[in-house]
Structure 1
Amino acid sequence: MAKKLVRFDWAIKKLLRHKANFTILEGFLTELLKFEVTIESILEGEGNKEEVNDKYNRVDILVKSVTGELMLVEVQNESQVDYFQRMVYGASKLITEYIKEGEPYGAIKKVYSINIVYFGLGQGKDYIYEYDGKFVGIHYGDILQPTLTQKDTFHVKEIKDIFPKYYVLKVNNFDDVAKNTLDEWVYFLKNSEVKDDFRARGLKEVKEKLKEDTLTEEELIAYKRFQENRRIERSEIETALIEGEEKGMEKGMGIVIKVYQMHKEGGKASEIAEIVSMPVAEVEEIIKNFT
């Protein structure tokens, strides 16, 4: 029987900051970013403060690579309507915080914003999204390129290499069929399980170091409390959906409740969408978030 593994978000908070466990994060980042990542240090992210109730709606870990890139890995469990804006804010804050006063702008390092979300962020059926910005000419459609001097000075091939790069992993959209090594990581993120035939970088270390039975007594107590808090939070969401109107929630939540109830009664997304006058995609997102 496979050993139980702890969730990745809890591991970020408690285990992955230790140098002995850097290989786990290095493996994940290497698989996602498609280049070799070696961690120089773990810096402090804004979601790392200890909380009395030990809740983990959001955790993050800020990595500095040996080549100077900043990589912010963030896990968000519950829906947040302005999450895209927070992604922009987080990357921008890193740029300003990690350039010393008086340094030239050329000292700014590449920032990667990696967001692992367990809710329906935006509309889209894929489970991995990559934002790779380019400057496109509005008249000729050409891509703005750096000069030879800029390429040599800043060691870039394209202008987009200077700007922050964003990734969104919509874990709940994954169908549990791992077609490649990155999918193997997504499978672990969704199920807290590593199959015996998985070969992705870092997952061997996950199986060895993130087992529940290797936790100290104090860590195990904290992890069990974390799991219980997650169950309570989920129950609170379900209760809010059912009792939302009488609890004075916003009018829009009434539609969400109606969709949820119609789905529970066997209604198809297309039928529900017609009844409540909503796009089918939005109905599907509501169903996905609360089933």
Structure 2
Amino acid sequence: MYAKALNDKGEIIIVKIQNIRKLYYLEQVLYGVAKTITEYISLGEDYLYHGQNHFIGVHTKDQLVVNTKERSVIVSKLSPEIFPEYILIRINKFDKIAVTPLEEWMDYLKRGTIRPDTMTPGLGEAREKLRYYSMTPEDRYAYDEHLNAVMIQNGVLDSAKLEGYLEGLAESRAENKEKGKAKGLAEGEAEANLENAKKMKAMGIDLEMIRQITGITL
């Protein structure tokens, strides 16, 4: 639960009450701070501001006027990983020709236009989304059906490849198993013949006869 109070110094104090065990408490506190800033912020001359306890125009170097009651809200005593530097982008103040990647994004957010030769990360994907949502419902449906058919086809091919792989693996294992059985039987037979040959020799049977019976030369 969030609560905001005004103290005797005219400062706004944000209170975040957590009475149950849960994750991301600091992130939620950060959200409350950011939301309060947007509620109390005043107008400036620039369209891009960067700062921590104060905001300076990146281009015009003017200081963005934040209500004095609100300045103490941006505190630096909490985890720097959760509370980094702030960048405020005011899309409605941007009226320049986009040059930098950030300005291209601002131009897109304000006017919905993207340069055909843009190299700005993410805007190529945004252009594809614009094309998709600018289609008629009929064209969009046909496009979705085409993608669905391609995915089904790819799924069938992948399934066939997997089945073929599993069948080959099963056949290979069965073949190796049979070879193992045959090898085991041959080794067992050889050991039995050797034992029999030794017993016959102990009984005084002629060695040539033992060789003819067991195939083993002692």
TM-score (norm 1): 0.26
Larger RCO of the pair (alpha carbons < 8 Å, separation 6+):
1
Larger helix share, 1 or 2: 2
TM-score (norm 2): 0.33
Bigger radius of gyration, 1 or 2?
2
